[in-house]
Amino acid sequence: MVLELVAMELKVWVDGIQRVVCGVSEQTTCQEVVIALAQAIATASAAERLRQDLATQERHSLEMQGTLALVSQALEAAEHALQAQAQEL
């Protein structure tokens, strides 16, 4: 007698998001399904944190560029003022 294992997909909802666990068979335990879901959620959470960190870094970079532009303008104005004073002497 040959038993054929058929892999299935198990669809579950976790925190309002539908997740699909692939490769589920009659021999798959609940523990294995829970572990697979926990690993997927941890990976997704890490990826989301990375996206948030990158967005924060980008925002800080843009703020810094604006600050550097203002400093550059102030330095140019100071340089022109010094040149004008030097010409008066």
Using an 8 Å Cβ cutoff, are 2 and 9 in contact? Answer: no
pLDDT digits (tens, 9 = 90+) for 8-34: 999 998 888 888 999 998 899 999 999
Global pTM reads 0.50
Q: Residue 41: its pLDDT value, please?
A: 85
31: exposed, middle or buried (C-beta count within 10 Å: 0-12, 13-18, 19+)?
exposed
Q: Residue 1: its pLDDT value, please?
A: 53
End-to-end CA distance of the chain: give it in Å, rounded: 107
pLDDT digits (tens, 9 = 90+) for 41-65: 888 888 888 888 899 999 999 999 9
Give, in order, the Cα–Cα distances in Å from 49 to each of 42, 45, 80: 10, 6, 46
Give, in order, the Cα–Cα distances in Å from 6 to each of 37, 38, 54: 20, 24, 42
Does the structure show a pLDDT above 90 at 69?
yes
